[in-house]
Amino acid sequence: MTLTESALAGNRLSISRLLTQVENDSPEGRLALMELFPHTGKAHLIGVTGAPGTGKSSLVNQLTLHYRKQQNKRVAIIAVDPSSPFTGGAVLGDRVRMRDLSGDEGVFIRSMASRGSVGGLAQTTASFTQVFDAAGFDIIIIETVGAGQSEVDIARLAHTTIVVEAPGLGDDIQAIKAGILEIADILVVNKADRPGVENTERALRTTLELAHPTKRIFRHHGQTIAIDAPEVDSKIWIPPIHKTISTDGTGIAELAESIEKHKAHLHQSGDWAHRDRARLGSELEAVLQEELLNRFFDGIQKEKYNAIIESVLQRNISPYEAVILLLNGSSKQEKL
């Protein structure tokens, strides 16, 4: 039995080894992804993002417990933490909050270092979801690195994106709302036992009310329908706000219900297919980009490339000209 077959059959060691192959972008990993791809497309991908320390991991822990106990769904968790930009090393600590899940065969937790990616995920996170999807996990929860403003890649990957806030971040709310709040399908104010939770909730609600009209027009691809048109209203998903306490599980059942509603909404509105298309489209583009770059470097002499970098360093040519030179073999500077 090949590693892929064994992973498809649910063998945990095989799944784990396959993930490593995929993460290291080995030829075996790529081959496996090709074989696994036809088996994908069934799982519900749930993204969990938010600032560091808002309780994302604890929330994932509780949500997974809920799915296991109430719905008997198989859950895979991909927990991404940052790699050091200097050494490439990483400390991946999300498992610390997920100890309740150990000993359960229906759960698979995999930590992932971002390895230089800046969008809140690692480059191969999307491929990881395909491995888990093919291996028969019903729900795949992707926890991003602690996110600031622009770590919004998760919205492209996940069907349902949960943005986690916590009280006491105060003015930070103002800073966050421009970027990350826009991608929320569901908002969670975690640590709801802490003082200031009402303020945080109010701030979020206000922000949503302001942002909402823009979203409508965005969603419907330039069909500038009047904002109060009723048939549009029924198709619009208004992100609910949930208060949770992830240390004791308060609010988790309601959150899970909202996630289910969002899934139903996606199917009903056609957004599920829409998002799938966008996701696979951007994945294709990323692979294409990488492949083209690799082919380009395979086809160019190192000396020539270094000489051109040197010219750029000397300020003889600009990077733009350098690219023309590299791609066409000539530019106006070449005659000089």
The least distance separating another protein from the CB of residue 6, rounded to whole angstroms, comes to 11
> In this structure, how many other beta carbons lie within 10 angstroms of the beta carbon of residue 59?
28
Which is nearer to another protein, 109 or 197 (by Cβ)?
A: 109
Is residue 90 part of the contact set for another protein (CB under 8 A)?
yes
Q: What single letter denotes the amino acid at residue 268?
A: Q
CA angle 178/182/186 to nearest 5° reads 135
The DSSP-derived string for 97-140 is GGGGGTT-TTEEEEEEE-TT--SSS-TTHHHHHHHHHHTT-SEE
Q: How far is the CB of 175 from another protein (least distance, A)?
A: 28
We find the least distance from the C-beta atom of residue 332 to another protein, in angstroms, to be: 33
Q: How far is the CB of 15 from another protein (least distance, A)?
A: 8
**How many residues in the chain?**
336
In the block, tokens 């395979």 appear at 298
Size, binding site for another protein by CB under 8 A: 28
Q: How far apart are CA 10 and CA 68, in angstroms?
A: 17
Q: Is 88 a binder of another protein (CB under 8 A)?
A: yes
- Paired residues of 49 in beta bridges: 163
Q: Tell me how far, at minimum, the Cβ of 112 lies from another protein, in Å.
A: 9
Backbone phi and psi for residue 110, each to the nearest 5 degrees, phi listed first: -130, 125
Question: Nearer Cβ to another protein, position 92 or 217?
Answer: 92
Q: Which is nearer to another protein, 52 or 170 (CB)?
A: 52
| Strands 186-189 and 107-113, sheet pairing | unpaired
> Rounded to an integer, what distance in angstroms lies between the CA atom of residue 99 and that of residue 89?
24
Contacting another protein within 56-85 (CB under 8 A): 83-84
Give the footprint of another protein on residues 101-120 (CB under 8 A). Answer: 102-103, 108-111, 113, 115
In the complex, minimum distance from the CB of residue 263 to another protein, in angstroms, rounded to a whole number: 26
Neighbour order of strands in the sheet with 44-50? 107-113, 75-81, 139-143, 44-50, 160-165, 186-189, 241-243
Name the residue nearer to another protein (CB basis): 133 or 185: 133
Q: Which of residues 8-27 bind another protein (CB under 8 A)?
A: 12-13, 16-17, 19-20, 24-25
Interface residues with another protein (CB under 8 A) are 12-13, 16-17, 19-20, 24-25, 83-84, 87-93, 95-96, 99, 102-103, 108-111, 113, 115
